[in-house]
Amino acid sequence: MIVHLRAAGTGLVLDVPVQDGGDLPAVLHWGRDLGPLDDDHLAALAAALVPAVPPSAIDTPLRLSVLPTREQGWTGRPGFEGFWSATGTAAAPLVARPAERRGDRGVRLTADAGALRVTTDVELTEHGVLRVRHALEHRGTDDTFVVGALDVTLPVPDRAREVLDFTGLWSHERRPQRSMLGHGAWTRETRHGRPGHDDPFLQVVGVPGFGFGSGEVWATHVAWSGDKRQWAERQALGRAVLGGGELLAPGEVRLAPGERYEAPWLVAAWSGTGLDGLSDRFHPWVRSWATGRRPRRVVLNTWEAVYFDHDAATLDLLVDTAADVGVERFVLDDGWFTGRTDATRALGDWTVDPVAWPRGLHPLVARVHARGMELGLWVEPEMVSPDSDLARAHPDWVVGGPDLPTWRDQRTLDLGNPDAYAHVRDALVALLDEYPVASLKWDHNRDLLHGSAHRQTTALYRLLDELRARYPDLEVESCASGGARIDLGVLPRVDRVWTSDTNDPLERQTIQRWTGVLVPPEYLGGHLGAPQAHTTGRVAATAFRCATALFGSAGIEWDLTRASPEDLDDVRTWVADHVARRGLLHSGRVVRADVADPAVLVHGVVAHDRSEAFYAVVALDAPQAALPDPVRLVGLDPDRTYRVRTVGPSPLQVQAAPAPWLTRGEVVLPGRVLTDVGLAAPLLAPQGALLLAVDALDGPGAVTFGP
Give tens-digit pLDDT for 251-283: 999 999 999 999 999 999 999 999 999 999 999
* Whether residue 484 has pLDDT greater than 80: yes
Three-state SS across 340-402?
CCCCCCCCCCCCECCCCCCCCCHHHHHHHHHCCCEEEEEECCCEECCCCHHHHHCHHHECCCC
Distance, CA of 164 to CA of 177 (rounded, Å): 6
CA distances from 473 to 291, 583, 587 (A): 13, 20, 21
CA-based nearest residue to 665, from 677, 682, 641, 683: 682
Which ranges in the chain are annotated with CATH 3.20.20.70?
Answer: 299-587
**pLDDT (tens digit per residue) in 407-428:** 999 999 999 999 999 999 999 9
Active site amino acids? 443, 501
pLDDT for 47 equals: 94
CATH architecture of 299-587: Alpha-Beta Barrel (3.20)
In order, the DSSP letters of 155-171 are EE-TT--EEEEEEEETT
pLDDT for 40 equals: 96
Q: How confident is the model at residue 704 (pLDDT cuts 50, 70, 90)?
A: low
pLDDT for 706 equals: 47
Give φ, ψ of 517 to 5 degrees. -65, -40
Residue range 128-145: mean pLDDT, rounded: 97
Sequence-distant (≥ 6) Cβ neighbours of residue 516 within 8 angstroms: 279, 524, 590
pLDDT for 351 equals: 97
**pLDDT (tens digit per residue) in 630-675:** 999 999 999 999 999 999 988 999 988 999 999 999 999 999 999 9
Which ranges in the chain are annotated with CATH 2.60.40.1180?
Answer: 590-696
DSSP, collapsed to helix, strand or coil, labels residue 440 as strand
Residue range 425-446: mean pLDDT, rounded: 98
Sequence-distant (≥ 6) Cβ neighbours of residue 666 within 8 angstroms: 643, 644, 645, 646
In this structure, which topology does domain 590-696 adopt according to CATH?
Immunoglobulin-like (2.60.40)
CA dihedral over 489, 495, 500, 506, signed as positive or negative: positive
43 DSSP assignment: H
Residue range 108-134: mean pLDDT, rounded: 97
Which ranges in the chain are annotated with CATH 2.70.98.60?
Answer: 2-290
Residue range 290-319: mean pLDDT, rounded: 93
Distance, CA of 359 to CA of 369 (rounded, Å): 17
Distance, CA of 469 to CA of 98 (rounded, Å): 37
CA-based nearest residue to 152, from 249, 216, 64, 72: 64
* Whether residue 59 has pLDDT greater than 90: no
Distance, CA of 368 to CA of 536 (rounded, Å): 31
Distance, CA of 362 to CA of 434 (rounded, Å): 9
69 DSSP assignment: -
Q: Which region among 50-64, 215-229, 300-314, 360-374 has the lowest average model confidence (pLDDT)?
A: 50-64
378, 331 contact by CB (below 8 A): yes
Distance, CA of 144 to CA of 455 (rounded, Å): 18
Which residues share a beta bridge with 135? 119, 262
In order, the DSSP letters of 171-191 are TEEEEEEEEE--SEEEEEEE-
* Whether residue 60 has pLDDT greater than 90: no
Which residues share a beta bridge with 83? 90, 146
Residue range 551-560: mean pLDDT, rounded: 98
Burial 204-225 (b: 16+ CB within 10 A, else e): bbbbeebbbbbbbbbbbbbbbb
* Whether residue 292 has pLDDT greater than 70: no
CA-based nearest residue to 618, from 592, 655, 587: 592
449, 407 contact by CB (below 8 A): yes
Distance, CA of 133 to CA of 121 (rounded, Å): 5
φ/ψ bin of 114: left (φ > 0), alpha (ψ from -120 to 50), beta (otherwise): left
Q: How confident is the model at residue 22 (pLDDT cuts 50, 70, 90)?
A: confident
CATH architecture of 2-290: Distorted Sandwich (2.70)
656, 685 contact by CB (below 8 A): no
Which residues share a beta bridge with 263? none
Radius of gyration of the chain (CA): 27
Alpha helices per DSSP H over 36-75: 39-48
559 DSSP assignment: -
Residue 358: other Cβ atoms inside 10 A: 10
Distance, CA of 504 to CA of 542 (rounded, Å): 11
Distance, CA of 616 to CA of 625 (rounded, Å): 19
Q: How confident is the model at residue 238 (pLDDT cuts 50, 70, 90)?
A: confident
Residue 351: other Cβ atoms inside 10 A: 15
Distance, CA of 217 to CA of 210 (rounded, Å): 7
**pLDDT (tens digit per residue) in 678-696:** 999 999 999 999 999 999 9
Distance, CA of 591 to CA of 245 (rounded, Å): 30
Stretch (H or E) spanning 273? none
Give residue 579's identity as a one-letter amino acid code.
V
Percent of the chain whose pLDDT exceeds 90: 91
Higher pLDDT: 294 or 309? It is: 309
Pairing mode, strands 374-379 and 329-332: parallel
pLDDT for 707 equals: 40
Average pLDDT, the chain: 96
Residue 271: other Cβ atoms inside 10 A: 26
φ/ψ bin of 123: left (φ > 0), alpha (ψ from -120 to 50), beta (otherwise): beta
Residue 393: other Cβ atoms inside 10 A: 12
* Whether residue 53 has pLDDT greater than 50: yes
* Whether residue 33 has pLDDT greater than 50: yes
* Whether residue 242 has pLDDT greater than 60: yes
